[in-house]
Amino acid sequence: MNRQPDISVVVIVHNDAARLLTAVQSVLDQTLRGVEVVIVDDCSTDPSYAAAQRLAAAHPARIRAFRLSENSGAGGEPRNHGIRHASGRYVMFLDSDDVLERNACRNLLEAAETTGSDIVSGLCVRRHLDSRHRGTTKWYPWLYESTRTVDPVSELPDLFVWDTLSTNKCYRRGFLIDSQLRFPKGMFYEDLQFIAEAYLAARRITLIPNQVYFWNVRQKAESKSVTNSRHEITNYTHRLEIHRRIDALLADRGLDDLRRAKDRKFLKHDLVLHLRDLPLRDDAYRREFAALSQEYLAGIDPTAYEAVHASVAICAYLLRQGDWERLIPAVDTLMHRDKISSPLAQRDGRVYWTDAGGHLDDPLGRRVLDVTALGYHHRPLERMSLRNELTGFAAAGTTVSLSGRITNPLGSIPPGAALRGELVLSARRKSLQSFTFPVRSLRHDGSTVSWETEADLGRRLRPLGIVDTVWDIRMRLEADGARTVSRITAADTALTGNEVPVRPRLTRLTADRVEPHVSAKGHLAFRLISQGPAATSASGLIERGVHGAPGALGKAAYRKARALRRKLTSTDTKLRAYHEVFSRLPVRGRTVVFESHLGKQYSDSPRALYEEMRRQGLDFEAIWSYQGSPQGFPEDATLVRRWSLPYLKALARAEFWVDNQSFPLKLTKRAGTTYLQTWHGSALKRMGFDLPELKAMTRDRQREQHDALRRFDHFVVRTEHDVGTLAKALRLDEQRLLRTGYPRNDSLVRARERERAVGRRERGPLARELGVPQDKAVLLYAPTFRTPGRFELPFDVERFAEQFGDRYVLLVRAHYLNHVVLPPSVTGRVIDVSTHHDAAPLLELADALITDYSSVMFDFALLDRPMLFFTYDYDTYAHDGRGTYFDLASRAPGPVFATEEEFHAAVKALDSQALAYAPARERFVARFGEYDRGDAARRIVDQLFADWKHR
C-alpha cells in the first residue's frame, strides 16, 4: 500500500491463534480498502505470534505483526503498542475473538470525515455463541438509535457512563497522540479509564446506528475472560481503582453532572454485578468486599440513591452500614424485584424496609429505607412473593429433609392463623407432571414462619427422564385460606447428603439419581444425573441422540406442533371461527351480551340497564363479558371471558349487544343483531374523526374505522352537546341517536330529587363499608387517564390529610387503567376506591368532587354539589394533545386551578364557593345534562325491549 491507510485496526491477541485468523479476515474483508492491520501479540505461549507472522507475510502491504517481550496480563499494553505502530489517519481496536461488520470502517470513516469528530462510535452487538438460541444483544442500543453528534461529551452523560467499550469506535490518530491517550498498564477494566479520558479529551464525538463490532460471548469457554470471573476480589479492587481515577478526572474538570450520572451508574450496574454473587461467597470474601465498598460508597452523592431502584439503594445503603444480617436477604430482592425479603416495619405512617439497626435515625437511611411507594402494604397475601430461606438440608436413603423460614412482612400472616403447606416439584421445562409433598410442621415466629419436612423423593418422584432433567421446587403456604407461593432460596445452607435414587418412567437408563442444585438465581432445584455404569453409558447415547439427527428431527416436530397450537389459538383463527362457524348458527332471540369498559368492570350504563331489565322481570337471557377475574359480576347471568370462544359464540348468536366502549372492532355484526352503544361519557376532548390520527389515515383505513362505528344501531346521548360533538365525530346519523340520557345517571338524578324532597342528604351503605364517620364530609378525587400504570397524585396526600383530615374524608378514584399508592399514615382520612367498579354510588356519597378533565364532571353535576377542577397540566393535556370541544376554564361550574396551594385554598372555601357557583352549576347541567331525567333505563327498555315483558 503506497498511500497512507485511512484506518489502522489494532488487533490484540493472547493465546488465541485459532480465532485470530477470523478476526483479521473481518478486517481484510472490509468494504473500505484503505485499512491496515496491526497485530500485537501479548507474548502468547501458543502459536499466536507465528500465525500473526504468517498473515503479515501473506499480506505484506496490509498486515504487520508485533510481539510484546513479556506478557502484560491485560489488553491495555498491547493496544498501546499498536497505537505506537499504527500509521493510518484513524485507529480502531479489535480483540482476537471478535469481528468487525463488513461496512464498519467505511461507515465510521464517512461519519468522521463529514463531522470532523475525534471519536466516532457505532453499535456493538454481543453474540452469544454458546447459548442454545445463539441470540444477540445490542450494547446500549438506546444510545445508537440515530446518528448524532455531541460536543463535548457532557451533552450526553449516558454515553459517558454506559458505553465504556473502547472497541466499537474509531479514533483520529492525531487526537490520540496529541491528547497522550494510553491504556492503563496491568489493570483489568482498562477500557473504562481509557474511554473516560478519551471522551473527556474529545472536542466532538459522533454516534452512528450502524452495527460495527460483533463481540463474541462464550460463557462456557474454559479460560473465563475477565468479565466472567468477576467474583475475584482483585477484579473488584481494580474496578474501584479505575472508578477513583475517573472521579478524579471529573473533579479536576468540575464536571459535577457527569459525576452524579456516574455515581448512579455505579450503584445500578457495577455494584449490582458484585452484589449478586454475594450470597454465594464465604465470610472472608464478604468482609473484604465490604471494606472495599464502604470506602468508595462513602464518596457517592447521596442523591444517587434516589435515582436507582429501591432494592439497589437499600442494598447499597446496608452494605455501606455493614449490616450483613439484612443485606443478604435484601440481595434476594435485588435479584427478584418483586420478592419481599424483609419483615418490613410501619412507623410514623410510613412503611420501611426495616426499623432495626438504628438506620432510621440516619436521615439518609430513613430516605432510602422508606418503601411506602412500592405499595407492599396494599397487597393481600396472595399477591406477595415472599422470601423463603432454606435453613436445613439433609439427604439420607430415599428421603430428603428440609427446613426453612418464610418472611412475614407487616404481620400479613397473623399469629394463630391456620397454617398449611406443601412442597411442589415441577419440571422446569413444561411438563404435565408435578409432585406434591406435605409440609410436616409450620410455626409462627412473629416476623417469620418456620417450617420443616421430609420428602421421600426416591419413592414419590417419578420423572419421565431425558425431557425433564431439572425440577424446580416451590412451597405453597396457606394462612387462613389465603395462599402464597414461594421459591426456596438456598444461600448459606450446605446441600449435604447422598444423591437420592429415582426411577424415571423411561427406565433408569436415562438417569438413576437426583441431586440438589442451586439455580443461577439462587433457588433450590433438583436435577437428574446418571451414576450407575448402565445409566452412565445409556445417557451418553441418549445425549448424542438428542443432539444428533434424530434429536433434531424430534425437536423440529415439537416446534411444528407448538406452532400449530399457537395458530389454532391465534386471533385469526378465532375471527374465522366467529365469521365462518358461529355466524352461520341461527340468532337466538331474547339474548343480550353486555360488556362494560372492555369487560374490565361490571358497571356503568350497561349495568344500570341490565338491572332495570331484571327489575322489570323481562324474559331474556343475559350474558356478561369479563376480562381478568369474573369476581363482582352478577350471578344470575352467564359469564364469558372476553375473546374466548364462548364469548365469540355468544356475540355471533345474540339478538342484542349492549356495551359502553366497543366490542372487538374486527367482529362484523350480523343483520339480525342490534347493537346498543350506551357510550361512557360526554366529551371535553376531541374524539373520533375530529382527531388528526384518523384524518391522517388513507380513505381505505378510514372506511374500516367507519364500518366498525356503523355497527352501532343505537347510540345513547345525554345532551345536544353530545349530538354536536360525539355523534358528529363518530359519524353517526340522526336515526341512530337515543335521546334518553345515561342509565348510569338515573340513580344520581333520583338521589338529588330525594335530597330535595327530604331536605337532607342520606348516606347509603357504602359509607359504612368504607368506614366514613358520620361527622365528616366526603370529597371525591377522580382524575382522568393520562398514562398507564401508577398515577402520581399532584399533591402531597399526607399534608392534605393533616390539613383537612379532621373535617373531610378524601376518596381517591384512579381511572380504571391506573392505580394509586397511599401511605399508611393517611389511613381512614384518605381512602383508595379505585377498585370499585361502579362510579355512581361513589358520586352519590361524595359531598364535593375534585376532578380535572374527566367526563365524571358531567355526571356529578346532576347532584348539584360543589365541584373543583384541579387542572395542573391543562396546557400539555388539552392544547398540545388533542384539543377540546369547549373552553373548560370559562364554563367550569367551580374554581379551576393548577397548584397545590390553590387546591387547599379552594377546599377551605368550599362552603362559600358552593353558593357562589350555584348558578354556574345550573347552566352547566342545562347544557350538558338535559336528557338525564332519572328514567333513562326505563325509557330504553320501553323503546327496545317492550315486547319482552311478561304479560
Partner 1 sequence: MTHRTRTLTAVASRDVFLVSNSVDELGGITSWSHQMARLFSERGHRVHVLGITPAPAGRRHDLGDDLPYRTTTLYDVHPPTRPPAGVLRRRVDPVDRRRHAAHLDGMRRRAARLTDLFRAAGPGAVVIVTQVWAMEWVALADTTGLTVIGMSHESYETCRRSSRFRRVQRYYKDVDRMLTLTREDADLWIREGLDHVGAMPNPLPFFPDEPSPRRAKTVVSIGRLHEEKGVDLLLEAWALVCVNHPDWTLAVFGAGEEEPALRRQCADLGIEKSVEWRGRTADVPGALRESSVFALSSRGEGFPLALMEAMATGVPCVAFDVAPGVREIVTDQVDGLLVPPADTRRLAHCLERLMSDQDLRDRMGESARRGVQRFSTDRVVARWESLFDLLAR
Contact residues for partner 1 (CB under 8 A)? 6, 31-34, 101-104, 106-107, 109-110, 145-147, 208-211, 692-699, 883
Question: What's the min distance (Å) between Cβ of 534 and partner 1?
Answer: 50
Counting other chains too, the contacts that 760-768 makes at CB distance below 8 Å and 24 or more residues apart are 761/847, 763/845, 764/841, 764/844, 764/845, 766/841, 766/842, 766/844, 766/845, 767/845
Nearer to partner 1, 117 or 583 (CB): 117
Of residues 13, 24, 105, the one with CA closest to residue 62: 24
Partnered with residue 205 across adjacent β-strands are 119, 150
Q: Maximum Cα–Cα distance for the chain, whole Å?
A: 107
CA distances from 432 to 44, 421, 485, 557 (A): 53, 22, 19, 19
- Asked if 743 and 612 touch (Cβ cutoff 8 Å), the reply is yes
In a 10 Å sphere around its CB, with 0-12 CB exposed, 13-18 middle and 19+ buried, how is residue 671 labelled?
Answer: exposed
Nearer to partner 1, 33 or 244 (CB): 33
Nearer to partner 1, 728 or 923 (CB): 728
- Signed CA dihedral, 490, 491, 493, 496: sign only: positive
Nearer to partner 1, 828 or 883 (CB): 883
Question: What's the min distance (Å) between Cβ of 145 and partner 1?
Answer: 7
Q: Which amino acid is at 628?
A: G
What's the alpha-carbon Rg for the chain, to the nearest Å? Answer: 34
Please give the DSSP secondary-structure letter assigned to residue 271.
Answer: I
Residue linked to cell 436415562 = 510
Nearer to partner 1, 21 or 697 (CB): 697
- Signed CA dihedral, 232, 234, 236, 239: sign only: negative
Nearer to partner 1, 103 or 179 (CB): 103
Whole-angstrom distance, CA of residue 542 vs CA of residue 650? 50
DSSP β-ladder status, 119-128 and 35-41 = unpaired
Of residues 688, 693, 667, 670, the one with CA closest to residue 732: 688
Question: What's the min distance (Å) between Cβ of 212 and partner 1?
Answer: 8
Whole-angstrom distance, CA of residue 206 vs CA of residue 148? 6
Nearer to partner 1, 170 or 814 (CB): 170
Q: Which amino acid is at 349?
A: G
Helix 48-58, helix 17-28: angle, nearest 10: 30
Whole-angstrom distance, CA of residue 210 vs CA of residue 536? 49
Question: What's the min distance (Å) between Cβ of 211 and partner 1?
Answer: 6
Residue linked to cell 381511572 = 815
Q: Which amino acid is at 913?
A: Q
Nearer to partner 1, 148 or 904 (CB): 148
Q: Where are the beta strands (DSSP E) in 578-655?
A: 591-595, 621-626, 638-641
Question: What's the min distance (Å) between Cβ of 883 and partner 1?
Answer: 6
H-assigned helices in 678-727? 692-695, 699-709, 720-722
Nearer to partner 1, 128 or 378 (CB): 128
Q: What are phi and psi of 931, to 5 degrees?
A: -90, -5
Whole-angstrom distance, CA of residue 276 vs CA of residue 272? 6
- Asked if 208 and 119 touch (Cβ cutoff 8 Å), the reply is no
Whole-angstrom distance, CA of residue 29 vs CA of residue 31? 6
Question: What's the min distance (Å) between Cβ of 569 and partner 1?
Answer: 27
Question: What's the min distance (Å) between Cβ of 702 and partner 1?
Answer: 10
Question: What's the min distance (Å) between Cβ of 102 and partner 1?
Answer: 7
Nearer to partner 1, 61 or 696 (CB): 696
Indicate the Cα dihedral angle 738, 742, 744, 745, nearest 10°.
Answer: -150
Question: What's the min distance (Å) between Cβ of 29 and partner 1?
Answer: 10
- Asked if 54 and 26 touch (Cβ cutoff 8 Å), the reply is no
Nearer to partner 1, 32 or 709 (CB): 32
Question: What's the min distance (Å) between Cβ of 857 and partner 1?
Answer: 23
Q: Where are the beta strands (DSSP E) in 428-520?
A: 434-438, 441-444, 448-455, 470-479, 482-489, 500-501, 513-518
Q: What are phi and psi of 412, to 5 degrees?
A: -60, -30
Question: What's the min distance (Å) between Cβ of 437 and partner 1?
Answer: 50
Nearer to partner 1, 141 or 545 (CB): 141
DSSP β-ladder status, 714-716 and 674-677 = parallel
Nearer to partner 1, 107 or 682 (CB): 107
Q: What are phi and psi of 674, to 5 degrees?
A: -110, 130
Nearer to partner 1, 151 or 515 (CB): 151
Question: What's the min distance (Å) between Cβ of 696 and partner 1?
Answer: 4
Nearer to partner 1, 107 or 601 (CB): 107
Question: What's the min distance (Å) between Cβ of 404 and partner 1?
Answer: 48
Nearer to partner 1, 699 or 950 (CB): 699
Residue linked to cell 430428603 = 400
Q: What are phi and psi of 377, to 5 degrees?
A: -70, -15
Question: What's the min distance (Å) between Cβ of 4 and partner 1?
Answer: 11
Whole-angstrom distance, CA of residue 80 vs CA of residue 83? 5
Nearer to partner 1, 136 or 616 (CB): 136
Question: What's the min distance (Å) between Cβ of 351 and partner 1?
Answer: 43
Residue linked to cell 471519536 = 119
Question: What's the min distance (Å) between Cβ of 839 and partner 1?
Answer: 31
DSSP β-ladder status, 621-626 and 674-677 = unpaired
Question: What's the min distance (Å) between Cβ of 141 and partner 1?
Answer: 9
Question: What's the min distance (Å) between Cβ of 32 and partner 1?
Answer: 6
Nearer to partner 1, 133 or 760 (CB): 133
Of residues 164, 141, 148, the one with CA closest to residue 211: 141
